[in-house]
Amino acid sequence: MQYVPLIGRILYALIFVFFGIGHFTNLNQMSQYAGAMGVPAPTLAVIVTGLMILLGGLSVLLGYKVKIGSLLLFVFLVFTAFIMHAFWGLDDPMQAQAQMAHFLKNLSLAGAALLLFYFGTGPMSLEKSSEN
């Protein structure tokens, strides 16, 4: 059971690390999409959010400064849920359903980020090993 928090952190962090890298490797496409969604200064927004989720994901993955990392992820997830996945304004029911799934996924992941913020990393982390 001692490995459960570590495995959970790894599984939770992977999406953010990969998507954070994707923000930079697909900067032009991500910026165009953000601009089409009405995000001001879309390229800057993609860079900032890419840094937020990459640093937040690495923080959770490594178990280092998890309060800061999980807070970065929480802020990113809540804002993106309401800005990028506003399903209630869509006319196409298929698009609305897909965006609602993304919206709810973001809120669920934001809840997990809050749990990490409150409860911390568990026994196997860089923060715990530096305390010894």
pLDDT digits (tens, 9 = 90+) for 48-89: 999 999 999 999 999 999 999 999 999 999 999 999 999 998
Q: Is the per-residue pLDDT at 44 higher than 70?
A: yes
* Residue linked to tokens 């913020």: 117
* pLDDT in the model for residue 2: 87
Q: Among 102, 105, 122, 12, which residue's Cα sits nearest to residue 56?
A: 12
- Note if the pTM is more than 0.85: yes
> CB neighbours (10 Å) of residue 41?
12
* pLDDT in the model for residue 123: 83
